[in-house]
């Protein structure tokens, strides 16, 4: 992505993965995948693009979340905690 789009004026973080699974069956690897994808992907993009926005004196970052951050379905606890 960075090679294809080295700079941006507006960054929209809208990536998210989800799945339905009983909470006690979610593995550590799945927890890590959800956190890496739903949280750290936005952090990494902001870390890359924000300095350019700041340097030019203008830019916007929009992070899209989910109502599952507030009302978390039991079978999607790993998704909800990352939103």
Query: What distance in Å separates the CA atoms of residue 77 and residue 3, rounded to the nearest whole number?
Result: 34
Q: Which of 2, 34, 49, 79 is catalytic?
A: 79
Q: Is 79 a known active-site residue?
A: yes
Would you give the end-to-end CA distance of the chain in angstroms? 23
Contacts of 51 (CB under 8 A, 6+ apart): none
Could you list the active site residues?
79
């Amino acid at each position: 992505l960075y090679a294809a789009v080295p700079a941006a004026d507006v960054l929209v973080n809208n990536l998210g993965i989800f799945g339905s699974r009983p909470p006690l069956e979610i593995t550590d690897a799945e927890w890590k995948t959800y956190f890496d994808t739903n949280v750290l992907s936005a952090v990494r993009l902001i870390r890359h693009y924000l300095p350019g926005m700041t340097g030019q004196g203008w830019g916007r970052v929009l992070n899209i979340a989910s109502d599952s951050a507030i009302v978390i379905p039991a079978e999607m606890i790993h998704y909800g905690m990352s939103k």
